[in-house]
Structure 1
Amino acid sequence: MKVCNIPNTMMIAGQPAIISYIPELRSFRGKFLGLSGYCDFVADSISGLQTEGEISLREYLQDCLQNGIEPYVREEKIKTFTLRYPESFGERLTLAAAEHQVSINAFIVEALNERMKLA
Structure 2
Amino acid sequence: MTKPAKPNTMEIAGQPAVISYVPEIDMFRGKFLGLSGYCDFVSDSIQGLQKEGELSLREYLDDCSAAGIEPYTKQEKIKTFTLRYPESFGERLIRAAAESQVSVNAFIVETLNERIKHV
Shorter-chain TM range is 0.7 to 0.9
Point out where structure 1 has 5 or more consecutive residues left out of the alignment: 1-5
Structure 1 segments of 4+ aligned residues over 4 angstroms from their partners: none
TM-score (norm 1): 0.77
* Change over 3 Å in CA distance of 1:113–1:63 after alignment to 2: farther
Amino acid at match of 2:76: E
Q: Deviations over 1:8-60 (max 9, x none)?
A: 22221221112122223221111112222222212111122112212221222
Aligned length: 114
Tell whether 2:38 aligns with 1:33.
no
Fraction of identical pairs, as percent: 77
CA RMSD of aligned residues (A): 2.3
Task: Return the letter of the residue paired with 1:19.
Answer: I
Question: Of the two, which has the highest radius of gyration?
Answer: 2
**TM (normalized to structure 2)?**
0.77
Higher relative contact order (CA closer than 8 Å, sequence separation 6+): 2
- Alpha-carbon distance change, 90 to 60 in structure 1, aligned in 2, over 3 angstroms: same
* Residue equivalent to 2:14: 14
